[in-house]
Structure 1
């Protein structure tokens, strides 16, 4: 039985092979093993040359879909569920995972009340001698590490820090300080060795770095969070609409 390789107009053959392999991996074609079949077998299934297949596999390794172990073969990354997160909605990690049928959990990396760093003071609009509650966590979905979050909240919004559980937003809402809007900035980055170890990936693996500021209804800044999301586990999705045509000025 062959695998279907659909080539779009103008698309290079090896990119069509990339799409075909990714589709088969995601739909469970190779679910019985983590080891990708041998090159000879794949070439027969895909009806392509080894040169084309190797270029496709190299792309999938670069994307984090596959990884290669010298002397052992090419393997499929399976442990981490892939998540699509709308970037236009202000939600907590716990809520995001719950909506997708995944069980959210955390491993605390840091918790306590501190003087703000210069960056925290600037972002939160607090004075250098004000106090902030800082919470650093490794976020997991169904037991798989997904993201590192380091949040800071002005202490006046969290007078009972011991009641902060899995969801920071639930604790804020319980105290009457529910965030209503946010501003976040995303960029690509590479993970340093310490963060890569926490996320279970190789050093210098790609990640999505996000800075988020959340506000209350009255405009007060309630949260400043820096996060590092595994690039092989998260897709951030935005809904776009076409602006109406500009009207000509009437004379």
Structure 2
């Protein structure tokens, strides 16, 4: 994140204090350039010389942006742009959570809540085209992005495609591909919900928080259902992006 070396100086005639003027200038730069990976800000000395203010003023401006969550100080390393809390999911591509986070430069993590074999519920059997009483693998996990809770995810897979749920330590889609069952397409339903007390605490949000519920049924290329996923994403950090194309009227 950088601004021209010939940046105009701040104005002493402006009724806004110099540190707030500088905070506003830096805020605009951060918001314009903010990305998933943290970038280092110039040192206090460089900012002081660039904007013609004291280092005390620079320090106060940086403190303002740290309090807003835009910057993050690192002991002995300087001040860095904090990654944006918002994560987008594009609905035009079928991608697993791990691959999705990796594509953003984030480290995907998992806290396992349950990983077992069980009998399919009537709803699961219907969604996956299974006979009543069929056995399925269940994967229930808290999904993390750079160590922060992002979503609760309950995945159900017929044992025909995943006989041993312990195979999955990271990406389920990678395991399915290795087993010869590559996910090909999916149908998703999105709903706004209120988290239960237990869900809110696992996601580290206040009780009664809103969330984005996503139910996905994934198929193989021949149309055979391979996966049913019910996820609850933290509503304040996850956006869904849909690309729309205008078609000419007939």
TM-score by length of 2: 0.69
Query: Is this contact kept in 2: 1:136–1:151, CA < 8 A?
Result: yes
* Gap runs ≥5 in structure 2: 1-13, 18-23, 35-61, 70-81
- Which residue number corresponds to residue 33 of structure 1? 67
Change (3 A) 1:114 1:80: farther
1:87: how far off? 1.5
Partner of 2:248: 244
Distance 1:130 1:25 in 2: 56
1:139 aligns with 2:143: yes
Equivalent runs, 1:219-230 vs 2, <5 Å: 219-230=223-234
Specify the alignment match of 2:169 in structure 1: 165
Greater C-alpha Rg: 2
Change (3 A) 1:136 1:26: farther
CA distance in 2, matches of 1:25, 1:192: 39
8 Å CA contact 2:153–2:232 kept in 1: the answer is: yes
Residue 217 in 1 paired to residue 221 in 2?
Answer: yes
SS in 1 for 2:66: coil
Give the deviation of 1:163 after TM superposition: 1.6
Residues 155-208 of structure 1, C-alpha deviation per residue, up to 9 Å, x if partnerless?
000123322111111111110101100000001111110000000001111110
Match of 1:92 among 85, 96, 100: 96
| Rounded Cα–Cα distance in structure 2 between residues aligned with 1:125 and 1:25 | 52
User: Whole-Å Cα distance in 2 between the matches of residues 181 and 239 of structure 1?
Assistant: 17
In the alignment, which residue of structure 2 is the partner of 1:184? 188
Partner in structure 2 of residue 197 of structure 1: 201
- Separation in structure 2 between the aligned mates of residue 80 and residue 136 of structure 1, nearest angstrom: 27
TM-score, normalisation: structure 1:
0.69
Q: Is the 8 A contact 2:115 2:165 kept in 1?
A: no
State the shift of 1:85 in Å: 1.1
Aligned to 1:101: 105
Alpha-carbon distance in 2 for matches of 1:132, 1:178: 18
Q: Which residue number in structure 1 is paired with residue 157 of structure 2?
A: 153
CA shift for structure 1 position 26: 6.8
Residue 141 of structure 2 contacts residue 153 of structure 2 at CA under 8 Å; is this kept in 1?
yes
Give the aligned length.
187
* Match among 126, 131, 135 for residue 130 of structure 2: 126
Match of 1:213, SS state, is strand
The match for 1:82 is: 86
* Residues 165 and 171, structure 1, Cα contact 8 Å, conserved in 2: no
Whether the 8 Å CA contact 2:142–2:152 is kept in 1: the answer is: yes
Once superposed, what is the RMSD of the aligned Cα atoms?
2.5
